[in-house]
Amino acid sequence: MVNVALLSKWHVHADDYAHQANQNKHLEIKVVWDENAERGKEWARKLGVPFEQDLMKVLSNPEIEAVIVDTPTNLHKEIILLSAKNKKHIFTEKVLAFTVEDCKEIYEEVQKNKVKLMVSLPRLTEDYYLYAQQVVNEGLIGKLTYIRCRLAHNGAVPFEGNPNGWLPKHFFNKEECGGGAFIDLGAHPIYLTNRLAGPVKAVTARLQKQFGYEVDVNSVAIIEYENGALGTIETGFLSGRSPFQLELYGTEGALLIEDNKIRLNSKSAGEGWNAPERLPDALPMPMEQWVNSIIDETVPTITDTDVQGLTLINQAALLSQDRGRRVETAEIIIDKQRV
């Protein structure tokens, strides 16, 4: 049994991860810490575990073997580094950190202390993504020329009694979040398209503020890939009833995914649009992969390349927005080497 501490209930997915931990036969939640003591105490009471206000007491406790981090994103680096230095395995919400340089520092500490780090990128385990990857790998649409992914919801649309929508108010705090819709919800289209289209050469982004928010709530990025393909990533908090869409276009066909509807039009798969007869089996969810890596050294399918690639796009998009121009990823440098 792996004894776990929950570090903060700041993120909207914190309850989901607590539920996943409770459902996993190898994990046991032992304590809650939260930078907001009142929130943390209430959560601890709900879960039936103690609350500890001193973070270092949690991290220095030898009985605690792992942590689940759902703090404000601007606290990720500090808390994850402290956790690694105290030999705790780490599961955390995306994004890992605001810069690729910070991500590299975290991974170095993780490797030095021989602990397991998992960032929650759940759509990389889904059957539709695995099918899309299979289509690309097998060349069923020829050479990929264009990819588009859209994920948006109405979390910032006001409704009666909720002038900021259903998202918590702190999700619009630029200091804590590092941004708005693009860095949060946009993470999913980013890491999906990174996997499918490959290394990124340049980013041109428009991170739009509306309704008086200090962060972007309606955003688009044009991505140029090293293989010559183009891509578009779309996200936002102002779209009611917006479907999830993933589209791949190639020299010999196209793959369209809209929510649960999947259609392939391929030169090598017959005439017209066809639904796949069978999708690949979904992979274990990120938390399960994390636990397996702790218990039996199983290598996760979600990698540091996925995690750092996510931060790279966010960093380049923010720079593009601030400078009003196209940004090449070569401009974002660590140790004088290209990311």
Q: What is the pLDDT of residue 268?
A: 83
pLDDT(335) > 50: no
Q: What is the pLDDT of residue 35?
A: 98
Q: Strands of 27-33's sheet, edge to edge?
A: 27-33, 2-7, 66-69, 89-92, 117-119
Report whether 64 contacts 4 (CB < 8 A). Answer: yes
Task: Enumerate the domain spans of the chain.
Answer: 2-119, 123-287+311-331
What is the chain's alpha carbon radius of gyration, rounded to the nearest angstrom?
20
The pLDDT confidence band at residue 269, using thresholds 50, 70 and 90, is confident
Per the CATH hierarchy, to which homologous superfamily does domain 2-119 belong? NAD(P)-binding Rossmann-like Domain (3.40.50.720)
User: Once rounded to an integer, what is the mean pLDDT over residues 288-305?
Assistant: 98
Q: What is the pLDDT of residue 333?
A: 63
pLDDT above 70 covers what percent of the chain?
98
Whole-number average pLDDT of the chain: 96
- For residue 109, give every residue at least 6 positions away whose Cβ sits within 8 Å of its Cβ, in sequence order, or none: 81, 84, 85
Q: What is the pLDDT of residue 334?
A: 46
Give dist(CA 37, CA 285) in Å, integer. Answer: 30
**pLDDT tens for residues 68-113?**
999 999 999 999 999 999 999 999 999 999 999 999 999 999 999 9
Give dist(CA 315, CA 63) in Å, integer. Answer: 37
Per the CATH hierarchy, to which homologous superfamily does domain 123-287+311-331 belong? Dihydrodipicolinate Reductase; domain 2 (3.30.360.10)
**pLDDT tens for residues 217-255?**
999 999 999 999 999 999 999 999 999 999 999 999 999
- For residue 91, give every residue at least 6 positions away whose Cβ sits within 8 Å of its Cβ, in sequence order, or none: 17, 66, 67, 68, 69, 117, 118, 120, 286, 287, 290
